[in-house]
Amino acid sequence: MAGLFSGSPKHEAPEPLEGPVVATVVGGTVLWFVLFLVQLPFYGWFDDHGHVWWVWTCLAGGGLGLIGIWYVRRRDAALKRGRVLPPQDPAPPVV
């Protein structure tokens, strides 16, 4: 199996794409909650047709989105702290 990929060119991985991660996750979370609220008045129809899981999927998406917002805000804050503070070299040993 190793010989199968031996002719592949070797090159560095590209830099990760960064964008407005917090805004994207917040927007997605809001969308999930809006979909949940829009479906609530039709709960009886969803129940009659066996599609109640659509309603609860939207609620679960919104709930998981709240966890995602918490995560990406902490990640964004950590990245900003890392850019502000210069990396510190370890102190030379005292002899």
Confidence of residue 82 (pLDDT cuts 50, 70, 90): confident
Dump pLDDT digits (tens) for 23-52. Answer: 999 999 999 999 999 999 999 999 999 999
Distance, in Å, from the CA atom of 9 to the CA atom of 64, rounded to the nearest integer, reads 40
Residue 1: pLDDT over 80: no
Residue 2: pLDDT over 60: no
With 0.75 as the threshold, say if the pTM is over it.
Answer: no
DSSP helix/strand/coil, 23 = helix
Residue 64: pLDDT over 90: yes
